[in-house]
Structure 1
């Protein structure tokens, strides 16, 4: 029978102690932005430790891919995807997460007097804002499951119920919460499902890439014609 080397036993015991002493926050359900494969998507962080985290994603990712996790009021975390199972992914952090940041990750939202902001995706899209029987053209600047910021060319009511109508996205009822110049902040009556929002954002990005490819192709054809 092969003898077990003492060094191997010590290494195994040391690894076990490290796993036991590593603090892990579970079921924290923090929304975050995930930058991967040159695109940004919303995700839900479900488990975090000093060396890694687990998240639910709603877009395409791959094992070995380099990612950045951004959570409002927190530092940006970088790492790589080490496993993918359905919509769940495991991410190994490039640098250990400080204990103070780990505790903030797991803190209950209701324990803080400051309302925690939801992550917003910056996006450029045109739509309509309907209020009081009138319709206003708007340009979306950013969006989250709970609300959006838009820019308008004409004056809109400072407060009151509205309906946001964006092509490709279900009509969303809400309230105008603030107005600053041509910009307005909207609070949705019901949160937009993450999968719906992510699919819409990806659709806009793909349409933009296709449009740029068509423009570049037309430019190349023009240059070829001139050369001939």
Structure 2
């Protein structure tokens, strides 16, 4: 999650609020700045959830959606909500849910017993592509297995020192600085010092040829 504003009544937009519910009947809308996973018949990608009510949400996407298109949207650790595109204007769309939800649940992190918060992770996306990892001037050819705005999971035969600072060059994305969060004999997790922005990650995920450049060799 990048940022969540204080709960407030959402401002009216040209195409209406979340979904298509009339303002006098809709459960009160809350304004968000939340990243989510969007799944359509074309596959999955990242979206921005801009506001949500019990009956629908307004999202921003990289590729325009079509009215009537079936979608699933998942945020944080929540199960996906299903619906269809009620209206679309450029890369902004209103999603009408198949069934009403508790919109406040999108603002509350899940909680374990004894008040221990569950880790709230940004959506992760499967990928199969190569990259170059640099640690203290030494380059390692690696494979990227999944990616999120905040980090990646790599496949590598090199012994990577946990806690080391590094740079990662993934074709099509800005060069990322990060820290090796964990490592075992054939894989590692890297936490980015600065998260990848929506404007960089969204088109990269949408480009299947780049995102899955190594798919054939992985089978």
TM-score (norm 1): 0.74
1:90 alignment partner, one of 91, 94, 97: 94
- What's the counterpart of residue 172 of structure 1? 176
Tell which has more relative contact order, 1 or 2 (C-alpha 8 A, sep 6+): 2
> For the Cα contact (< 8 Å) 1:36–1:61, is it kept in 2?
no
Within a 5 Å distance, the mapping from 1:90-169 to structure 2 comes to 90-97=94-101, 99=102, 102-107=103-108, 113-169=117-173
Quote how far apart the aligned CAs of 1:53 are: 0.8
Quote how far apart the aligned CAs of 1:201 are: 2.1
Within a 5 Å distance, the mapping from 1:1-228 to structure 2 comes to 20=24, 22-97=26-101, 99=102, 102-107=103-108, 113-203=117-207, 205-206=208-209
Q: How many residues align?
A: 190
Considering only CA atoms, is the larger Rg found in Structure 1 or Structure 2? 1
CA distance in 1, matches of 2:68, 2:108: 30
| Higher normalized helix content (fraction of residues) | 1
Quote how far apart the aligned CAs of 1:108 are: 7.5
Quote how far apart the aligned CAs of 1:21 are: 5.7
> For the Cα contact (< 8 Å) 1:136–1:156, is it kept in 2?
no
Residues 209, 65 of structure 1: alpha-carbon distance in 2 compared, 3 angstrom cutoff: farther
TM-align CA RMSD: 2.7
TM-score (norm 2): 0.77
| Per-residue Cα deviation, 1:109-152 (whole angstroms, up to 9, x for no partner) | 9xx84442100111111111110111111111111111111111
Alignment gaps of 5+ in structure 2: 1-21, 111-115
CA distance in 2, matches of 1:152, 1:132: 17
| Per-residue Cα deviation, 1:184-211 (whole angstroms, up to 9, x for no partner) | 11111111121211212222x1458999
CA distance in 1, matches of 2:211, 2:47: 22
**SS of residue paired to 1:155:** coil
**SS of residue paired to 1:24:** coil
